[in-house]
């Protein structure tokens, strides 16, 4: 009986460890997704600023030519 109980405990511990490993893996994936999302947002802001700057320069050149 005692050996069976110890084996059951061991199986439960292994299952818990497996769940913890999956949780850590999922947290890592979520972190990576957040980082990628932040990078995408930063790039979009850079692109937007660049477009605004180019439009300003084009408007300035157009106004000086007339």
Query: Range with the lowest mean pLDDT among 12-21, 25-34, 35-44, 54-63?
Result: 54-63
Calpha distance 23→66 (Å, rounded): 65
Identify the domain containing residue 41 by its residue range: 1-66
Q: 5-24: per-residue pLDDT in tens?
A: 999 999 999 999 999 999 99
Task: Grade residue 65 by pLDDT with cuts at 50, 70 and 90.
Answer: low
Please state the φ and ψ torsions of residue 51, each to the nearest 5 degrees: -60, -45
**Domain count across the chain:** 1
pTM, full prediction: 0.61
Concatenated DSSP letters for 15-48? HHHHHHHHHHHHHHHHHHHHHHHHHHHHHHHHHH
């Amino acid at each position: 009986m005692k050996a069976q109980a110890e084996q059951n405990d061991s199986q439960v511990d292994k299952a818990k460890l497996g769940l913890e490993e999956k949780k850590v893996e999922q947290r890592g994936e979520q972190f990576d997704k957040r980082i990628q999302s932040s990078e995408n947002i930063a790039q979009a802001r850079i692109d937007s600023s660049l477009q605004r700057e180019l439009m300003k320069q084009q408007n300035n050149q157009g106004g000086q030519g007339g």
